[in-house]
Amino acid sequence: MTILKDLDRTPLVQRLARWAQQYPDDRAYTYMDYSEDVDGVAVDMTWAELDRRARALAATLRQHTDAGQRAAILAPQTLDYIVGFLGCMYARVIAVPLFSPDLPGHADRLLAVYTDSEPEVILTITSALPHVETFFNSNPVPRPKQIITVDTIDTSLTWEDESISPDDLAYLQYTSGSTRAPAGVMLTHGNLAANTEQCWGVFDGIPRVSTGVNWLPLFHDMGLVTAVGLPIAYASPAVLMDPVAFIMRPIRWLELLSKQGHAFTCAPNFAYEYLATKVTEEEKAGLDLSGVQVFMNGAETIREESLDRYLEAYRPYGLRPEVQVPAYGLAEATVYVASSSRYELPTVRAFDRDALNRGVLEPCAKDAERATVLVGCGQPYGQLVAIVDPETGVRREDGHVGEIWIHGPNVTAGYWNRPEETAAVFGQQITGNVGDFPEGPWVRSGDLGVWYEGELWITGRIKDLVIVDGRNHYPQDIEYTAFHAHEGVRRGYAAAFSVDDGETERLVVVAERNRRVPIKRLDLGAVTDAVRGAVQQHHDVRVHELVLIEPGGLPRTSSGKVSHTACRKAYLEGALPVTVLEG
């Protein structure tokens, strides 16, 4: 049987206490504040200060709630957010990492998560307090016992350590909700500690030297583990910025990375597309990316053209092709599951689309008419990944598509207050010939993938599969074809799904219009014909309806993925912002 590497499951706050003693004056976190100064103002915090403030918050928390209760963090992305998260850990209060209620487009999600988690205490900061008060005054939810502003607590308060087990619940990570309502994944202290070591093993970092530079939201699993967990696990410095600061001026991310001698970072695929297309040559001047060891790419479909475009744009500034690291993960496994090595080039292969739709991986030429190009996600570190028949639980042979199942110390404890969903997803057993793998327990991901040439390849989500006339189609393939079919479709912004008309399933494609094409010059008939023709030619399936909508109108999850469920729902309810052409 495969023996997993022994990972250190020591709770991270115990390591924080150690660093505060051993390296009290080392810089732990730097927050770059761009709210008042376009060039940013650096706010630093040492290990000793972080530990002192987290302990003071723990003492404050326990004045108002008990161990095992929930505390929701409704605050913007500052160093106080990290203090809030670690203070909960010290107090053995279950953290619920969220966001300030004024974050645009997330009101429904906040209401759903708050209602589900039932926190007794709210952690925020003074500047966000009015938004928190508005949230409670505007929604029919119970008020918490106490609202604590982390930036005003009495830092003279002390905290005596209480016993924390690696199996104790640390926080609830709410899923992004791409196929369902958000569910609270229950993460233990040991889960977080193990997953940080798994990430670090791939990064091959240097303790106290390797610097994480991140803009990802801290309420998202990838942001929380890489921006908060990794630095604490290895006493390594981190630099943070607000996601809006990146969106407003993306070059800031690369400028911060350029200042580091040994750095790592991560983001979804769209961020690299954004950098490749939105940054001017003048802005790039002075960049030096030679110190960046890892640009991890995960959380959504990874595209070869994105890797190529990003490399072409920044190779002159020190970007090495091998540091683009495609990765796969999910909240139910804390976040990180598998990735390529930072010492090897990403693997890109073309496979026959018809064979893939039948569940078999058959290589073909990239220029073949029925080719689908996939990017490999390497191998897992410190955990096991099996490809399994989702109906029978039988392990599938290499080269055959099935559901991705994961086994390891990073697999979480289930869903908060959802015993039926927990039973259906966690604690699964492989049946039949398990080979050198254990029978269980395994967590099922809901994602489709395949082992091929020693590497994990992701092909889609089970619930998102488009089934028309009894044949499977991967929506991302159809979407790729759709947004390349006509200049009037915004590149990367399409959703394909099937709807039941009472007799059969029909294919619908929703796509945002390209704002670079003047609306007066947009010919809806030509766009529809082009998309229908391209999808028919490349996928042998008819598009029942193309819905062209306004830029920004495509429903997305908190991590930036297209939400096919929300898009289908909005389509059926007539709630999409459909583009209306004059005349």
Give per-10-residue mean pLDDT for the chain (583 aa): 80 96 97 90 96 97 96 96 98 96 84 93 97 93 94 94 96 72 91 95 92 93 92 96 91 96 91 89 93 89 88 95 94 94 93 88 89 92 93 92 95 94 91 85 92 92 70 77 87 83 77 87 87 83 87 76 80 87 66
Tokens of 128: 């966000």
Four-CA torsion 49, 52, 57, 59, nearest 10 degrees: -170
Helix (H, G, I), strand (E, B) or coil at 90: helix
Token pair for 120: 């007794």
- Whether residue 453 sits in one domain with residue 373: yes
Residues 431 and 525 in one domain: no
Virtual CA dihedral for 124, 126, 131, 133, nearest 10 degrees?
80
pTM of the model: 0.85
Q: Do residue 426 and residue 480 come from a single domain?
A: no
Its sign, for the CA torsion 314, 320, 240, 301, is: positive
* 8 Å CB contact between 289 and 319: yes
Q: Contact at 8 Å (CB) between 130 and 103?
A: no
Tokens linked to 419: 């015993």
Domain at 423, CATH number: 2.30.38.10
Instruction: Using alpha carbons, select from 228, 199, 210, 170 the residue that is nearest to residue 336.
Output: 199
Looking at the structure, tell me whether residues 532 and 472 fall in a common domain: yes
Pair 411, 489 in one domain = no
Distance between CA 498 and CA 476 in Å, rounded?
A: 13
Please indicate, yes or no, if residue 80 is contained in any of the structural domains.
no
54 located within any domain: no
Six-digit token pair at 32? 């770059």
Domain assignment of residue 96, yes or no: no
Rounded to whole angstroms, the Cα distance separating 95 from 113 reads 12
Tokens of 479: 């979407």
* 450 and 480 fall within a common domain: no
For the chain, count helices (H), then strands (E). 18, 26
Tokens matching residue 325:
């690291």
Alpha-carbon gap, residue 163 to 367, rounded angstroms: 60
> Do residues 456 and 352 share a domain?
yes
Nearest to 327 by CA among 258, 390, 384, 269: 269
In a domain, 113, yes or no: no
Cis-peptide into 419, omega within 30 deg: no
Locate 381 and state its tokens: 């570190």
**482 and 452 part of one domain:** no
Same domain, 477 and 512: yes
Three-state SS sequence of 342-387: CCCCCCEEEEEHHHHHCCECCECCCCCCCEEEEECCCEECCCEEEE
What is the structure's pLDDT at 241?
94
The DSSP H or E segment spanning 84 is helix 79-91
Gap between the Cα atoms of 230 and 382, Å rounded: 16
Same domain, 385 and 481: no
Range of the domain at 358: 348-461
CA gap 475, 467 in Å, rounded: 10
Q: Are 105 and 77 in contact (CB under 8 A)?
A: no
What span, in angstroms and rounded, lies between the C-alpha atoms of 547 and 534?
Answer: 16
CA distances for 362 relative to 70, 205, 350, 376, angstroms: 49, 36, 8, 14
Which pLDDT score is estimated for 369? 82
Q: Is 454 helix (H, G, I), strand (E, B) or coil?
A: coil
Tally of domains within the chain: 2
Place of tokens 């049987």: 1
Q: Are 288 and 317 in contact (CB under 8 A)?
A: yes
On whether both 354 and 432 belong to a single domain, the answer is yes
Is 89 a member of any domain? no
What residue type is 260 in one-letter code?
Q
Same domain? 454 vs 483 = no
Question: 461, 479, 513 — which closes off a domain?
Answer: 461
**Burial class for 36, CB neighbours closer than 10 Å (0-12, 13-18, 19+):** exposed
Q: Token pair of 544, please? A: 């029942």
Which pLDDT does position 440 carry in this prediction?
Answer: 86
d(CA 360, CA 25) in angstroms, rounded, equals 56
